[in-house]
Amino acid sequence: MSDRPRARVLRWVLAFVAAVAAAVWLMAEPHELAPVRAAATGRAEHRRERRSYIIGFVFAVLLTCAAFAIVAWRLMAPATALAIVFALGLLQIIGHFRFFLHIDLRKSARDDLQLILFSGLITLLMVGGTLVILFNLRHRMM
């Protein structure tokens, strides 16, 4: 495949992912429900939650397919592909937080977000420390 069709396909894939991400994000905003009976409110809540899961699933599948297409079709240089796949992975993490864990920037969910970020920091410190120790041992053994 020459560079021209690859660039065209790459632009199409990235534009498609950006458009889907924007549409999914806009559609998933919580809606204010009019005061109705408790049973109707329960059904509406169930529909809204199910809709969030479906949108999240579609978002995750599209991001996964975009990352797979970039790597499988070798649309760009390996370093650029790695950066784009990394960015798509970060978008997918944010999508999982938003659609599956229902963590957003509302006041009630900030405690959960802070807990997750702190856990991620501790995990990052443990993995980073382990890698430093292993590379130091490798350097001393060579």
Token pair 């650029």 is found at 80
What does the alpha-carbon distance between residue 57 and residue 99 come to, in Å, rounded to a whole number?
Answer: 8
Rounded to 5 degrees, what angle do the CA atoms 88, 47, 26 make?
40
Token pair 């443990």 is found at 126
- The model's pTM: 0.60
The ranges assigned to domains in the chain are 3-102, 105-142
pLDDT in tens, 36-76: 445 567 778 888 888 989 999 999 999 999 999 999 999 88
